[in-house]
Amino acid sequence: MNMTNTTTARYAAACLLICSSWLQQAKAQFTPKANKQVLQLVNNDLDFAVKQYKHMAQHVPEKLLPRTTNSDGGLMTSNTGWWTSGFYPGTLWYLYEYAHDTAVQAEATKRMLLLTKEQYNKGTHDLGFMMYCSFGNAYRLQPSDAYKKILITSSNSLSTRFKPTVGCIKSWDNKEWQFPVIIDNMMNLELLCWASKATGDSSYLHIAKTHANTTMAHHFRPDYSSYHVVNYDTTTGKVISRITAQGYADESAWSRGQAWGLYGYTVMYRETKDPAYLQQAQHIAAYILNNPAMPKDLVPYWDYNIPDTANAKRDASAAAITASALLELSTYADKKEGTKYWTAAESIIRSLSSAAYLAKEGENNNFLLMHSTGFFKANSEVDVPLTYADYYFVEALMRYKKLTGK
């Protein structure tokens, strides 16, 4: 055989090896499949959610948004500047997508009019929650130049909080810390990823990736549990301190923080296909699913390191966020890991669909889920419904249907 034939043969063999490897990977990729019982729960839950949120629409004051239940058992509301303001209209858009009920759509549109001014809000890192969960879902279902403009303006406002020397978007403006960044902030990067695609301007994606990379480097412990807050030196970008403000202790793992990280890195993998983000999401998933402190029903206590769990409060919001993230993450994983994520998400849906967590029609101030925990140590929103618990629960239900083609 001459040199040319030898080279050709080697090239062909290499191609065959690559193709064989690719086919093996493709074959090993997890494919979502609906469980009939879970699918029935999903549809029942969504039917219930439509009814419950139509009840809620009758009780929310005209210029406010639902937040939780107050200490007297009544409905607690917020103005548009509160970080959860986008979840109610966002949930309504998901329910409209499911039921095509024009009354639900009208309520979503009505409440978004209140939110419009927040596109100019440069004093918060939560514009992803506030504007993308609401206007992002609206734009996805009913694209319009008006929605697009609001989302781009919101992205510009969020971008003003990014500081290159730190490599992060600043979370809070206060005198206690120089440049605090919270793990929750991973959830606001999806808005910036969207803006890059919508405008063709890569600067938004650059900010999102830089923030994700800096957070990956400094927010996580070796076991992939995360701190809640990392305080950076504004000038040098060096870490000054690490705190877990909403968790049990600075070195503990606040359960909703773990869920934010899991969801955030899953989104960043979707948007960039950078394997480092996929690996990070899978490490966080392993921490959650293999945690000895995780209850059998997969609805975590408000912190994974509470010494005495006998009377510890659960956080249904952390479970809902985790379920939604795991459903998406399963589609990026191999068959073994994907099956694990999908099965865990199904288990969480079963739990949250049970009478232990799902309210009855007309009760619970017309929220869907009971037993979430906002900020335990401050005795704020403890063992109550939370608007974002409902949002991510409904998102998980809709994802289950969409990923299974049902």
Look-up of token digits 């955030």: 264
Q: Model confidence over 155-206: pLDDT tens digits?
A: 999 999 999 999 999 999 998 999 999 999 999 999 999 999 999 999 999 9
Query: pLDDT category, 10, cuts 50, 70, 90?
Result: very low
- At how many degrees (to 10) do helices 36-57 and 387-404 cross? 140
Q: What pLDDT shows up at residue 237?
A: 98
The confidence score (pLDDT) of residue 28 equals 77
C-alpha to C-alpha distance for 179 and 243, rounded to whole angstroms: 13
| Domain formed by 59-404, architecture | Alpha/alpha barrel (1.50)
Q: Which residue has the higher pLDDT, 128 or 26?
A: 128
Q: Report H helices in 231-368.
A: 255-272, 275-289, 316-330, 335-352
Q: Residue 283 burial (CB < 10 Å; 0-12/13-18/19+)?
A: middle
Q: Name the pLDDT band for 366 (thresholds 50, 70, 90).
A: very high
pLDDT of 1 > 90? The answer is no
Q: Structural domain boundaries of the chain?
A: 59-404
Question: How high does pLDDT run on average in the chain?
Answer: 94
Determine phi and psi for 384, rounding to 5 degrees.
-135, 170
What 8-state DSSP symbol labels residue 360? Answer: P
pLDDT computed for residue 4 by the predictor: 41
Closest Cα to residue 189, out of 289, 90, 263? 263
CB–CB of 262/285 below 8 Å?
A: yes
Q: How many CB atoms lie within 10 A of CB 82?
A: 18
Point out the least confidently predicted range of 13-22, 26-35, 218-227, 311-320.
Answer: 13-22
Whether 21 has a pLDDT exceeding 60, the answer reads no
Q: Is the pLDDT score of 3 beyond 50? A: no
Asked if the model's pLDDT at residue 222 lies above 50, the reply is yes
Residues recognised as catalytic: 126, 184
**In this predicted model, what pLDDT tens digit does every residue of 268-325 receive, in sequence order?**
999 999 999 999 999 999 999 999 999 999 999 999 999 999 899 999 999 999 999 9
At 182, list the tokens: 């919270």
- Residue 391: what residue type? Y
